Amino acid sequence: MNKLLFAGIGVASVACFIACNQGQSNTNKQANTTPDAVAANVDTTANPKDDFFDYANGGWIKRNPIPSEYSSWGIGNLVQEELYKRLRIINEKAAENPSDPISKKIAAFWKSGMDSVRLNAAGIEPITGTLKEIDAVSNVQQLAQLASQLNVTAGGTCDISIGQDAKNSDAIMVQLGQGGLGLPNRDYYFNTDDRTTKIRQAYPGHVAKMLAFTGMDTATAQKAAASIVQLETLLAKSSRKLEALRDPEANYHKMPVAQLNKIAGNIDWAGFIKQQGISKFADTVIVGQPEFYTALSGAIKSQPLDTWKNYLKWIVIANAASQLSDTIANTQFAFYGKLLRGQDQQKPRWKRVLDAEEGAMGEALGQLFVKEFFNATAKKRYENLVEEIRAALKNRIEHLEWMSDSTKQKALYKLSKISKKVGYPDKWKDFSAMDIKDQSYYQNVVAAKHWWQNYEINKLGKPVDRSEWDMTPQTYNAYYNPSNNEIVLPAGIFTVPGKRDEELDDAVVYGYAGASTIGHEITHGFDDEGRQFDAAGNLKNWWTKEDIKKFNDRADVMVRQFNSYVVVDSLHINGKATLGENIADLGGILLGWEAFKKTEQYQKNEKIAGYTPAERYFMGYALGWLSHTKKESLARQVLTDVHSPAKFRVNGPFSDVDAFYEVYGLQPGNGMYRADSARVRIW
């Protein structure tokens, strides 16, 4: 899962992966001489029965070290590099000749972000007005009012969003979740392993360095930083763990604002919400973690006003750092990039500006992108593949031995109602009111945040727009949305870098796209979270008690399997936190395989580049996770991500797939062998 780049009002999106190299007609000669899409990556010194990931991808990994500005490197990066180049051309053309309203905004954003001379000369100046407002706060009421305002532009003590009511998908609600932490999540404040301890010990020093940019002397900044970390630790104690956040029922508490005032009485919640710009349709809210708000309310009373003021300064400069001078941005990167992720240096400025622009108005870029880089033939191929995968899951549900007929019928109905969005939206967002113009980079980013704030607020009291996309066509991602019961597959998601779509044989496509993307996302509708939503997208139980127990018993087998995998140092995968993604990976592989067996290529069984169609299917799936990652980033992923690291997204589910055993002849003693009784059997 990914979060939107901007704080304040937002929506959540579920992540997988994407690619893009469609619709080009001038690469035939090059394509005919490029290596085979999967055979070129093989490490022949590795045994596929012991470690299929290393076998299928190890040759490429050995030849392609991780660049210094990245913490990992793989197929996603290769695709993203193509995206960067194409989007840069779009921006540079817009800057040279901004001929329409969209290109004018793109040009203004691009120029403001690329003007490093202006940024370095301004230094801290873009946020000095906000810092003065914080200094002027003299009581708790003023503090709460300003904190609410800053929640839009800088994030803050809590996560306020606008989204569909999980139990009434036709309604849009104000929703409140835990937040307020400067470290990635609550475990960083308490875990005692060496790597996390080192990060936690370095954190106060980093906060002090950033506060020094606001005008504090060293001693004052260090004292302020210590109090900020103490405050965040207090909030972290009442924050839920990663796996606990995945229970939709346990994270749903609908209540009137008056009840929220009882839970967290030191905050005027009606006033706080109003300061967000929400003036109506907010008499009732959905609170994810009430205990966090009780702790927040207590901290407002127990912690000194100066601590809170310094905390606000910290979140303001932390969130603005990338739009300020190189000195400030580099200081922020030294902690969050180098120490937390293992990056040796920052991406070049032009890539960072494109990343920010994607979050600000990526769909505006997408309108220009799809005109050049996505064709109707490819769109049709993958729309058809979605239906083949749907048919495969229908067949598997019908033949499940452990599920009762009554639950099966509801599952089949939900499956039939899953909608698909492929490529790009039918209706584009209108960015005309976004105030992007010739002003500072910081001001342009803030203008985009305010636009998104208003965009989300305007949904309140209106019918849900189920045609809306939460990702842009050029995004390297995909998702299943349980509230809409839909899978969303952006335009670039299906292409292998350096290959046109028509050059890819079905075996690779069914593994790479059919299994790891389409099948994966459809299975999310029936994983441990998705299965709790009905066909209309409502959090509502449609299972018998007996079937729930049987599902959970089978899911527990997968939890135990992934708990046993050691990723780095002594850190194990969190099987409970990653369960939904692991179920989706396994389901995707099974569905892709079932669909692939009906193809002409599978039935002819002719080798390509020395490999059978069946082998190429599994190699195609592994291609989707072609990557390697630095230890620092792996450690962070284990603590903060609901996705298992790439190697285990291949070796883990393959160890549960009977067809994989048949194709590669696994026997007891092989590294990936699991006894039949220990294999996961869900969908």
Segment 509-564, tens digit of pLDDT: 999 999 999 999 999 999 999 999 999 999 999 999 999 999 999 999 999 999 99
The helix/strand/coil state of 101 is helix
Taking phi over 0 as left and psi of -120 to 50 as alpha, with beta for the rest, 423 belongs to left
* pLDDT tens digits, one per residue of 326-360: 999 999 999 999 999 999 999 999 999 999 999 99
Q: Where are the domains of the chain?
A: 1-32+71-123+324-372+425-460, 35-64+375-423+501-683, 154-305
Residue 611 gets which letter from DSSP?
A: B
Share of the chain above pLDDT 70, in %: 95
Residue 100's pLDDT band (cuts 50, 70, 90)? confident
642 neighbors 577 (Cβ within 8 angstroms)? yes
Query: Residue 33 has what pLDDT?
Result: 61
629 neighbors 637 (Cβ within 8 angstroms)? yes
Rounded to an integer, what distance in angstroms lies between the CA atom of residue 530 and that of residue 481?
9
The residue-averaged pLDDT of 567-581 equals 96
Taking phi over 0 as left and psi of -120 to 50 as alpha, with beta for the rest, 123 belongs to left
Residue 27's pLDDT band (cuts 50, 70, 90)? very low
Q: What is the dihedral of CA 541, 262, 153, 124, to 10 degrees?
A: -140
Which comes out higher in pLDDT, residue 83 or 431?
A: 431
* pLDDT tens digits, one per residue of 112-129: 999 999 999 999 999 999
Q: Does domain 35-64+375-423+501-683 have CATH number 3.30.300.30?
A: no
The residue-averaged pLDDT of 478-483 equals 97
* Alpha carbon 101 to chain centroid, angstroms: 30
Rounded to an integer, what distance in angstroms lies between the CA atom of residue 52 and that of residue 511?
14
Query: Residue 86 has what pLDDT?
Result: 86
Asked whether the predicted pLDDT for residue 22 surpasses 70, the reply is no
Residue 371's pLDDT band (cuts 50, 70, 90)? confident
Asked whether the predicted pLDDT for residue 492 surpasses 90, the reply is no
Which comes out higher in pLDDT, residue 99 or 29?
A: 99
Asked which of 354-358, 453-457, 493-497, 678-682 is least confident by mean pLDDT, the reply is 493-497
Asked whether the predicted pLDDT for residue 19 surpasses 60, the reply is no
Phi and psi at 344, nearest 5°, equal: -85, -30
Query: Residue 21 has what pLDDT?
Result: 30
- CATH class given for the domain over 154-305: mainly alpha
H/E run at residue 567 = strand 566-568
Asked whether the predicted pLDDT for residue 586 surpasses 90, the reply is yes
Which of 268, 175, 233, 250 minimizes the C-alpha distance to 528? 250
The residue-averaged pLDDT of 37-41 equals 96
Half-sphere exposure of 548 (CA within 13 A, CB side): 8
Query: Residue 278 has what pLDDT?
Result: 87
Asked whether the predicted pLDDT for residue 475 surpasses 70, the reply is yes
Phi and psi at 4, nearest 5°, equal: -60, 150
Mean pLDDT computed over every residue of the chain = 92
Residue 184's pLDDT band (cuts 50, 70, 90)? very high
The helix/strand/coil state of 646 is helix
Share of the chain above pLDDT 90, in %: 83
Query: Residue 42 has what pLDDT?
Result: 98
Predicted TM-score (pTM) of this structure: 0.91
* pLDDT tens digits, one per residue of 374-421: 778 888 889 999 999 999 999 999 999 999 999 999 999 999 999 999
Integer-rounded Cα radius of gyration of the chain: 25
Q: How many CB atoms lie within 10 A of CB 113?
A: 26
